[in-house]
Amino acid sequence: MTKPILMGAVAYDPKVVPIWDGIREYLKEVGPGMDYVLFSNYEAQVDALTSGFIDIAWNTNLAYVRTHRRTNGRCRALAMRDTDVDYCSVIVVRNDAGINSVADLRGKTLALGSRDSGHAAILPLYFLKRQDIDPARDLKLMRFDLDVGKHGDTGASEAAVLNAVASGQAEAGAVGDPFWAKALEERVINGDKVRLLWTTPTYHHCNFTALDSLEESRYKPWVEALLKMDYNNAEHRPLLDMEGLKRWLPAQTEGYRTLFEAVEEQGIE
Amino acid sequence: MTRPIATKIKAHYDGEDLGASEGLLVAIARLLDPLAEGEALELITENLSVADDLRIWCRRAGHRLVQAVPENGKSNIVIERGFVRRTLSDPAEWGVRIPRRGDTIDMRDWQVGRSAIIAEEAPRGGTLAPRGAAVEEGAPEIEFSIRKRSDIWANSISELYEQATSSQWVGARDIPWRELATLDEEVERSVCQIMTFLAENEYAALYVPARFIGQIHPHFSEAALFLSTVMVDEARHIEVFTKRALANGGGLGVASATTQLSLASLLEPNDFSTASFLLSVLGEGTFLDLLTFLEDHAPEQATREICRRARQDEARHVRFGIAHAKYTLEADISAARRFGKAVELRAEFLKSVSGVGALIEEALIIYAGGGMTPAALRAGTKRVAGLYETMHGNRVKRLAAAGFGIDQADHMSRLHTPNFM
């Protein structure tokens, strides 16, 4: 009998418990067993994965990049959410700030989420630089380093960014696109004050990461079972809604290249 | 311009300059709903942010923005519906129309569309939704113990509900309280004792349906709705009986142990049909005759009106009780034996109760005779004896109407508590 998978996740919200309890129950029914442990921050989870305490880590893009760097690439992305594939960051601006193009951001205050958030800080700066906006020279940065260690999962820093732009403390701000979509859907955006200016190129977000020493016979049935979860199934739907996806997909990795470069460029450990 | 995807477009919307968070998403979600996976909605917009906003929203909603082409200052956007069903249910009904009765819409006519299908037994898991609503998969399934139609239904139930709601009255306003004047002291004392007794009985009549409403499967919502009107009626009766006792210099009387014993036994049965049979057919039936008697001999207009209005409500409760007993007796051959057994058990339980109790009987005699003079007492005594005969005769008639044979009805009536309810 194969040993059940021990998975790690970061407890960024109380709903993490019902999510993984539910998925554990589902996996118990379809075959491959799983248990999970929760960490209070991604750094501890990366340590636990690289030291072999857990088999699989549910990682943010930054946690994946760190694992990859720490193991010299001897790790493997197994699966991800449909929403992780073509994630992007959104630059929002105040309508009255006179910003009509990315170039107009020069000289303005840009609000950013937590410094360890790939989508609300690291990648927006990386992609703006490729639009010839040098953060050090061209922008005044207003950082909201909230819930550091959770890599922006809580959304608290994005809420602060949006608030700063809406209230006029900052002329522009960066958030992840799911946060923006949710704000649109919940109609918390006042279209007279704040609008989307620009979206970055897409990149990958979270994935399940394993060390490449994890045998295929152990992770394969686990991943296959995960991919069979169905959003049109009433029992699966609440779990998938809480985790923010419509279906699980096999992992892709080419979309992490930009974050590898960004981490290098910005000197993030 | 060539559009290779144009063949899949099944819906169109001109969003003008409406922003995504200003309501545009409402139109898009609704127009995508009826489409099949892979079919598309074409949107024209003058709002520059919409294309990016929708690309982002689509990713989250499980759809795909496949085209955003600028055209003369507008954008032409095509969104392809994804595999996701927004609600896991049958579609909502459309094209159903309840027939009118003149200007009114009557519950008797609302069995149209899916609501017209009434099962003999409702499914085990119940939902707090109108019968016929498209219940979404994944909705919690609530256990309701009353889910057989014969355990709760009556053929006239919708008609009784409409009568109940159209006959509501207000205890504060609709009783001629200003007519109250000082009465003979013994008569007032009797009124107060009788009002206390009536209120006690109505507490039982309130709490019995209250015990069962929460157990009724909403598939039989007419029953839950009708019993709610019964509860409102009983609340109002408790209100006016209590007000009358307090209104004219007397006050509340004695709640005797025998009355309380008799009423407590009404809370015993654990199935609605038996409880309803004891309460509504036998108890409230007998109560009707009592209220008629009190109305006929009332010492003043306020008390007369209280009894008249309460009697009209009670008559409806009794009609329901008889109709439900009839429905149950026809559907379930064991019901007759169950009801008979319940009457016998209650009689056995109440064997220590030999009469209505001295305080009530004296009060009824003084009330009916109009005082404590010898002539009044003679008249009152005779009238109360007549009341008992009337009660027995009418009980037999009601039991016969419910479906019992005359001999069985007579036997059951004689076993009924001398405490009226």
Give me the mean pLDDT over the B375-397 stretch: 96
**Neighboring chain B residues of A189 at a CB cutoff of 8 Å:** 21
Contact predicate A232/B84, CB 8 Å? yes
Nearest CA in chain A to B58: A181
Contacts of B19 in chain A (CB under 8 A): 191, 195
Binned at pLDDT 50, 70 and 90, residue B179 comes out as very high
Higher pLDDT, A3 or B202: B202
List chain A residues with CB under 8 Å of B22.
Answer: 187, 191
Q: Does B53 touch chain A (CB under 8 A)?
A: yes
The average pLDDT across A190-208 equals 94
Torsion of Cα atoms, A192 then A198 then A203 then A205, to 10°:
-20
- Do B120 and B150 contact (CB within 8 A), yes or no? yes
The answer for A 209-238 residues in CB contact with B (under 8 A) is: 231-232, 234-235, 237-238
Residues of B in contact with A232 (CB under 8 A): 83-85, 88
Query: Count of alpha carbons within 13 Å of A66, Cβ hemisphere only?
Result: 23
Q: Given an 8 Å threshold on Cβ–Cβ distance, is A232 in contact with B62?
A: no
For position A1, what pLDDT does the model report? 53
pLDDT of B3 over the 60 cut: no
pLDDT at A60 over 80: yes
What is the distance in angstroms between the Cα of A185 and the nearest Cα belonging to chain B?
A: 6
Nearest CA in chain B to A93: B49
Q: Are B21 and A183 inside 8 Å of each other by CB? A: yes
ipTM for the predicted complex comes to 0.85
pLDDT of residue B6: 57
Residue A151 pLDDT > 70, yes or no?
yes
Q: Does B140 touch chain A (CB under 8 A)?
A: no
The model's pLDDT over A67-98, given as tens digits with 9 standing for 90+, comes to: 999 999 999 999 999 999 999 999 999 999 99
The chain-wide mean pLDDT, for chain B, equals 94
Beta carbons of B88 and A234 less than 8 Å apart: yes
* pLDDT per position as a tens digit, B34-64: 999 999 999 999 998 899 999 999 998 999 9
Is A237 within 8 Å of B138 when comparing Cβ atoms?
Answer: yes
Chain A interface, best mutation among B52, B127, B135, by max A CB count within 10 A: B52
Q: What is the mean pLDDT of chain A?
A: 95
Closest CA to B247 of B311, B315, B176: B176
Confidence of residue B420 (pLDDT cuts 50, 70, 90): confident
Q: Name the residue of chain B whose CA is nearest to A181's CA.
A: B57
pLDDT greater than 70 at residue B29:
yes
Task: Tell me, yes or no, if A180 comes closer than 8 A to chain B by beta carbon.
Answer: yes
Nearest chain B residue to A192 by CA distance is B19
Q: With pLDDT > 70 as the criterion, what percentage of chain B qualifies?
A: 98
Q: Span A125-150, mean pLDDT?
A: 96
Amino acid B2: pLDDT: 43
Are the beta carbons of B59 and A181 separated by less than 8 Å?
Answer: yes
CB A232 to CB B136 under 8 A?
A: no
Q: What is the 3-state secondary structure (H, E, C) of chain B?
A: CCCCCHHHEEEEEECCCCCHHHCHHHHHHHHHCCCCCCCEEEEEECCCCHHHHHHHHHHHHCCEEEEEEEECCEEEEEEECCCCCCCCCCCCCCCCCCCCECCECCHHHCCCHHHHCCCCECCCEECCCCCCCCCCCCCCCEECCECEHHHCCCCCHHHHHHHHHHCCCCCCCCCCHHHCCCCCHHHHHHHHHHHHHHHHHHHHHHHHHHHHHCCECHHHHHHHHHHHHHHHHHHHHHHHHHHHHHHCCCCCCCCCHHHHHHHHHHHCCCCHHHHHHHHHHHHHHHHHHHHHHHHHCCCCHHHHHHHHHHHHHHHHHHHHHHHHHHHHHHHCCCHHHHHHHHHHHHHHHCCCCCCCCHHHHHHHHHHHHCCCCHHHHHHHHHHHHHHHHHHHHHHHHHHHHHCCCHHHHHHHHHHCCCCCC
More confident residue, A106 or B72: A106
What phi-psi label fits residue B357: left (phi over 0), alpha (psi between -120 and 50 degrees) or beta? left
Task: Note the pTM of the prediction, 2 decimals.
Answer: 0.83
Q: Does B125 touch chain A (CB under 8 A)?
A: no
A234 contacts on B by Cβ (under 8 Å)? 88, 136-138
- B113 Cβ under 8 Å from any chain A Cβ: no
- The nearest alpha carbon in chain B to A200 belongs to B52
Q: What is the pLDDT of residue A190?
A: 83
